[in-house]
Chain A
Amino acid sequence: DSGVTQTPKHLITATGQRVTLRCSPRSGDLSVYWYQQSLDQGLQFLIHYYNGEERAKGNILERFSAQQFPDLHSELNLSSLELGDSALYFCASSAQGTSIVHEQFFGPGTRLTVL
Chain B
Amino acid sequence: ILNVEQSPQSLHVQEGDSTNFTCSFPSSNFYALHWYRWETAKSPEALFVMTLNGDEKKKGRISATLNTKEGYSYLYIKGSQPEDSATYLCALPPNDYKLSFGAGTTVTVRA
The answer to the question of B75 belonging to the interface, with a C-beta cut-off of 8 Å to chain A, is: no
Complex Cα distance, B99 from A107, in Å, reads: 16
- Residues 29-47 of B, flagged 1 when their CB comes within 8 A of A and 0 if not, give 0011010000000111110
Q: Are A104 and B97 in contact (CB under 8 A)?
A: no
What is the distance, in angstroms, from A88's C-beta to the closest C-beta of chain B?
A: 9
Tell me the chain A residues, 82-115 only, with Cβ under 8 Å from chain B.
90, 92, 97-109
Task: Name the contact of B46 in the complex, choosing from A55, A90, A105, A107 (C-beta under 8 A).
Answer: A105
Complex Cα distance, B51 from A109, in Å, reads: 28
> Interface segment, A10-18, A42-50, A71-79?
A42-50
Q: Are A48 and B89 in contact (CB under 8 A)?
A: no
Complex Cα distance, B106 from A110, in Å, reads: 22
Q: Are B51 and A100 in contact (CB under 8 A)?
A: yes
Contacts of B96 in A (CB 8 A): 55-56, 97-100
Q: Are A103 and B49 in contact (CB under 8 A)?
A: yes
Tell me the chain A residues, 41-71 only, with Cβ under 8 Å from chain B.
42-45, 48, 50, 55-56, 58-59
Task: Name the contact of A107 in the complex, choosing from B43, B49, B103 (C-beta under 8 A).
Answer: B43
Complex Cα distance, B43 from A44, in Å, reads: 14
Interface residues in A, total, Cβ within 8 A: 28
The answer to the question of B98 belonging to the interface, with a C-beta cut-off of 8 Å to chain A, is: yes
The answer to the question of B101 belonging to the interface, with a C-beta cut-off of 8 Å to chain A, is: yes
Interface residues, chain B, CB within 8 Å of chain A?
1, 31-32, 34, 42-46, 49, 51, 89, 91, 93, 95-104
27 A/B residue pairs, CB under 8 Å, sorted by A: A33-B98, A42-B101, A42-B102, A42-B104, A43-B44, A45-B98, A45-B99, A45-B100, A48-B98, A56-B95, A56-B98, A92-B44, A97-B97, A98-B93, A98-B96, A99-B32, A99-B96, A100-B32, A100-B51, A100-B93, A101-B49, A103-B46, A103-B49, A105-B46, A106-B43, A108-B43, A109-B43
